[in-house]
Structure 1
């Protein structure tokens, strides 16, 4: 892993027309990106998905880990644009990065390239975790997405949400599982910090992150219990697959999981952030959490014995109020003002941030979010000023590009 754990980020974006309505032009934009050498077509991505599924079925977890051990950790090391479940979406992954400056540069680059590809087909991209305006989601072509739609019905049909996934490198699966056991209590705080989906089907939901509500309709989503070790984690994955309910291991939608493709812990609980700098702050916090948890594990400190039912409640609370109300404090299990809980998270990871050279940048980023609010707060401000949900989308298009 080197001196500093590597980090990579995946962001999902909405594809919208100039008026602010999501449009199913993601596949067409990807064709443009593929011709420019900046992404995969839908067909190429579908073939890769099926190849990955075949590989995971044929090979053991140990073999997979051996093959991946030369990778540094993070999202795709090349960076690229790829399809998502709905044709009104695009996704990209940054390179594997050591410095948060590089994460920020990649986020700006790929947001710009996604927007350029969308412009080429008459659209734009917006970093919104749900669509403020009414929309009829259109499934992206492909065998895997078709199987998901057939299997999960309305849950899959309505699932037009955009998240942000942060990968942080770990030495091996044992360290990765030890990290999962220790970061789980803090993950709801990340939902509150990144909340960016207050609107759904043309109305204000009353939630700061309604994406978190929609996402938890998947049967394999949410928090999980503590694992005894890496073998225990793998037994759970095998038990999920044995139910023949989820389509493949890519549908293990835990709030945080071991990546099947990279030697990383992948934290999946966040909304896509409206501002790229907030994604950088998220990446720094996640890396700090992973490093802090690994240090605690090596020191023999036990993982917090908090039930998954409590964590699910804490996540609901975070999605409901974002930073505008109380959060469940991981140290006490009691409600506390959001700013107090966020500050506790920052203090927990501060030594790890300092060791990585991230302390000032992440602290300033957290302070900025606490001061100006989340993407959900920004969306609601625009709506109050204009009374127009399409204007919310148009404002998000501009904010997405910085």
Structure 2
């Protein structure tokens, strides 16, 4: 965790230095609080996406926290994907950092999630069972013509098409370095917990994809402010109860890696001060000025 924090801090400082050379500043936000007009990267693939998906592509100025975790095989990767499904919404609630959209309070802790949801391939997945079934599902999506290539498979978690990893994509980019480290460490522990369950012959939870969509929507709407959908019971529960259930679920792995105590500390910090969305809301409520929200984010981006 210390090494990861150092790497994130270094990369943020490098990016901030490059930004200053261009007369701008770096802010780790999942959406822009201020009104913006995004531009399209002038590459053939992105230009084609802009043409095909119109306003959905035109407005796609969002930042997520994608965590890659190595797996030994595609079979193990799919087994993990099947078993982490109910536990992804709490990660979104923890990381939520996008309450404002085009100068307006969206009312969502993660409005980025709503923007991602416009894409035809986004969201939680069904149970696949095997790597072959996963590949068949991807092939069917490509055959439909609704997506252009495998890079447009915007599942909340997927097998990477570039690396021997699974890629968990549900989280907002985190305002604080500590929160990014917390999310990444919980993701790694969640993946290992699922891999151990698979190796032990434990079946994946049969929770329906429709239920997962509801849990994800609730996490995006509420963040840590109100109730979330409990990953085990499927019923509403206080956000802290749900987040602590995620910690309990991954405790054996965190204890084995020596990360349990620091993760508990970082988690307590988020629950005490709030996620990025809570901090943005607090600054805006106090000042009534979205530019102050941005200034606060610029200052906090490099802090830990």
Q: Distance in 2 between matches of 1:388 and 1:266?
A: 36
Pair 1:229-2:122 in alignment: no
Report Cα offsets for 1:7-46 as digits up to 9, x if no partner. Answer: xxxxxxxxxxxxxxxxxxxxxxxxxxxxxxxxxxxxxxxx
- The answer to whether the aligner puts 1:130 opposite 2:53 as a matched pair is no
Task: Indicate conservation of the 8 Å contact 2:82/2:129, yes or no.
Answer: no
Shift of 1:346: 0.1
Which residues of 2 match residues 271-290 of structure 1 at below 5 A? 271-290=172-191
Structure-to-structure mapping, 1:186-265, within 5 angstroms: 186-265=87-166
- Mapped to 2, the partners of 1:119 and 1:373 lie a distance apart of 29
Quote the residue 1:163 is aligned against.
Answer: 64
Following the alignment from structure 1 to structure 2, what is the Cα–Cα distance between the partners of residues 294 and 207?
33
Give the alignment partner of residue 266 of structure 1, picking from 167, 177, 183: 167
CA distance in 2, matches of 1:115, 1:247: 33
Alpha-carbon distance in 1 for matches of 2:205, 2:192: 16
CA deviation after TM superposition for structure 1 residue 165, in Å:
0.3
Unaligned runs of 5+ in 1: 1-99
d(CA) in 1 for partners of 2:25, 2:63: 15
| Mapped partners of 2:189, 2:264: distance in 1 | 12
How far has the Cα of 1:136 moved from its partner?
A: 1.1
State TM-score, norm by structure 1. Answer: 0.75
* 1:363-374 aligned within 5 A: 363-374=264-275
| Aligned-residue RMSD, C-alpha | 0.7
Query: Which runs of structure 2 are paired with 1:1-400 in the superposition (5 Å)?
Result: 100-400=1-301
C-alpha distance in 1 between matches for 2:180 and 2:269? 12
Q: Deviations over 1:295-333 (max 9, x none)?
A: 111111110001111000100000001000010001101
Query: Structure 1 CA distance, aligned partners of 2:75 and 2:263?
Result: 28
Q: Distance in 2 between matches of 1:365 and 1:288?
A: 15
The answer for the alignment partner of 1:88 in structure 2 is: none
Which residues of structure 2 form unaligned runs of 5+? none
- In structure 1, distance between residues paired with 2:302 and 2:245: 31
Residue 91 of structure 1 corresponds to: none
Moved over 3 A (4+): none
Deviation at 1:101, TM superposition (A): 1.4
Describe the superposition over 1:328-382 as per-residue Cα deviations: whole angstroms up to 9, x where unpaired.
0011010000000100110110110111121111111111101110100000111
CA distance in 2, matches of 1:324, 1:287: 25
CA contact (8 A) 2:30 2:64 kept: yes
Give the Cα–Cα distance (whole angstroms) in 1 for the partners of residues 223 and 5 of structure 2.
24
Deviation at 1:250, TM superposition (A): 0.8
TM-score under structure 2 length normalisation: 0.98
Give the Cα–Cα distance (whole angstroms) in 2 for the partners of residues 296 and 332 of structure 1.
Answer: 19
Rounded to whole Å, the distance in 1 between the matches of 2:37 and 2:292 is 19
Answer 1 or 2: which has greater helix percent: 2
For residue 129 of structure 1, give the secondary structure of its aligned residue in structure 2: coil
Following the alignment from structure 2 to structure 1, what is the Cα–Cα distance between the partners of residues 237 and 79?
27
CA deviations 1:78-126 (Å, max 9, x no partner) are: xxxxxxxxxxxxxxxxxxxxxx211111110111111111111111111
